[in-house]
Amino acid sequence: MDFIFMLTRGDKTVEDALDVLEQIAPLGLGHIGFKDVGVAPAVLHELTRRIRAQGAISYMEVVSETPEACLNSARIGREIGIDRLLGGTDVADVQAILAGAHTQYYPFPGFPSGHPTTLAGTPEDVARHCAEFRAAGCAGADLLAYRATESDPLDLVRAARRGLGDGYLVVAGSIASAERIRAVAEAGADAFTIGTAVFDGSYNQRKGSQLSQLSEVIADCRAVERATA
* Domain chopping of the chain, boundaries: 2-228
| Position 64 confidence tier, pLDDT thresholds 50, 70, 90 | confident
pLDDT digits (tens, 9 = 90+) for 183-197: 999 999 999 999 999
Reference 129, options 143, 114, 118, 149; nearest CA is: 143
Read off the pLDDT band of 159 (50, 70, 90): very high
Q: Report domain 2-228's class.
A: alpha beta
Beta sheet of 168-171, edge-to-edge order: 104-106, 84-87, 57-62, 31-35, 2-6, 191-194, 168-171, 140-143
Residue 116: predicted pLDDT: 80
pLDDT (tens digit per residue) in 136-153: 999 999 999 999 999 999
Kindly tell me if the per-residue pLDDT of 48 is higher than 90.
yes
pLDDT at position 208: 86
pLDDT at 47: 98
pLDDT at 229 over 80: no
Could you give the percent of the chain with pLDDT greater than 90? 90
pLDDT of residue 61: 96
Q: Are 95 and 107 in contact (CB under 8 A)?
A: no
- With cut-offs at 50, 70 and 90, classify the pLDDT of residue 225: confident
Separation CA 149–CA 93 (nearest Å): 27
pLDDT at 150: 93
- pLDDT (tens digit, 9 = 90+) per residue, 102-134? 999 999 999 998 878 899 999 999 999 999 999
Q: In the prediction, which pLDDT does 80 show?
A: 97
